[in-house]
Amino acid sequence: MSSSSRRATSRVPSRIVAGIGLSHVPSVGPVIDRARQADPAWKPLFDAYVPVRAWLEKLEPDVAIVVYNDHGADFTFDKYPTFALGAADRYRIADEGFGTRPLPEVAGHADFSIHLCEQLIAAEFDLTVCQELGVEHGFLVPMNLCFPHSESGWPVRSVPLQVNVIQHPLPTARRCFRLGQALRGAVESYAGDLKVVVLGTGGMSHQLQGKRFGYMNEAFDQWFLDQLESDPEGLSAISHHRIMEEAGAEAVELIMWLTMRGALSPGAKRVHRHYYAPMTTGMGLITFAG
Amino acid sequence: MCAALCDPREREAFKRDEEAFMARFSLSEAEKDLIRKRDFAGLIEAGMNIYFMLKIGSATGNSLYRMGAQMRGETYEQFLSTRNIKGAV
């Protein structure tokens, strides 16, 4: 690998211009593919993204780093990495068991990714580096909500950052927060003049297995949003056990929001906030200016 | 086995001959029986991960919400009646 200073096309440092926490509910995908966004049951969700999309258009980001988890589409339990980073110029749309969605291939930024890998591994985050990767709803639904695609592609390039939140033992919330802090340093040391948005995805409250199927806890979710804004360092002390008990087993995905928050300044200003819980998942949305 | 179901040809193979499909993987007789009976609560009890079970759901025509209703011990309609906005499926 060549050094990042030789690869970069500009001497101007890159910077994180926004951070977004949002849910990645799979049922949103077919709603978009069938253009059902105006259905009364779905309209409240999509309406919340109208100002977010307008805001993102003004920010003109070059790259979205998407912190997500794979749900058994391209990683299975024979080998499941704790943290994995995409380092490719393109990512295919994966079939996670329901067919391949009609979406354009995702454009990556291999040079930027390789820089992030070098910096994060030097910062003692031992990532799995993926030169081939298929992405699925955990990655694609947040992209759909924030960055409308055309037939030819997406308005930003992407870097997938995959976190194991589905097969114990999981990384701690604090580890995810620290990864975000290291990510900020890695982004800012890339002399490519990139404007970067970090998406932290998953959650909020939901339980998809056993007798407690369908459990949600709006009070917990609202508290989490409050803490994410005002005291992310304190919030990162939360245990998996507490999240799973209070917000459902699958709510543990929320630790990925802490990676996004860790990548922002401690006093980052919140811009948007929304919550909608129609079926089995508390669908939260919170945005911060970088 | 569930990972294989991420391939449309494998889903067709499962639908064509479920027994032959299951025989390719090192499943116990008890595990096969849970799949035969579409016993989703039993599969979870036996250690199945929900996201991999969804792939069996897809191949057998059982949506997440249908599997969820069964795990709760309810009919699909009973389950839907407990939701805030049941049209968001």
The Cα A206–Cα A249 span in angstroms is: 7
For A81: left if phi > 0, alpha if psi spans -120 to 50, otherwise beta; the answer is beta
* CATH number, residue B48: 1.10.700.10
In chain A, which residues have pLDDT < 50? 1-6
Looking at A24, A109, A115, A137, which residue is catalytic? A137
Q: pLDDT digit string (tens) for A25-41?
A: 999 999 999 999 999 99
Show which residues on chain A lie within 8 Å of chain B, measured between beta carbons.
27, 39-42, 71-73, 76-78, 94-99, 166-167, 208-211, 213-214, 250, 277-280
Q: What is the pLDDT of residue A166?
A: 97
Contacts with A278 from chain B: Cβ below 8 Å:
83-88
Contacts with B85 from chain A: Cβ below 8 Å:
41, 278-279
When pLDDT is averaged across residues B42-56 and rounded to a whole number, the result is 96
Residue A109 is a catalytic residue: no
Q: Which domains does chain A have, with CATH numbers?
A: 4-289 (3.40.830.10)
pTM across the whole model: 0.96
B85 touching A, CB under 8 A?
yes
The Cα A250–Cα A254 span in angstroms is: 9
CA count, 13 A, side-chain hemisphere, A155:
18
Q: Which among A274, A275, A270, A268 is positioned nearest to A287, based on CA atoms?
A: A270
Structural domains in chain B (count): 1
Q: Which of A71, A94, A279 sits opposite B85 (nearest CB)?
A: A279
- Domain with B51, as residue range(s), is 3-62
Q: What is the pLDDT of residue A9?
A: 62
Using 50, 70 and 90 to split pLDDT, how confident is the model at B86?
A: confident
Do A208 and B88 count as a contact with CB atoms less than 8 A apart?
A: no
Place of tokens 């591994």: A121
Whether B55 is covered by a domain: the verdict is yes
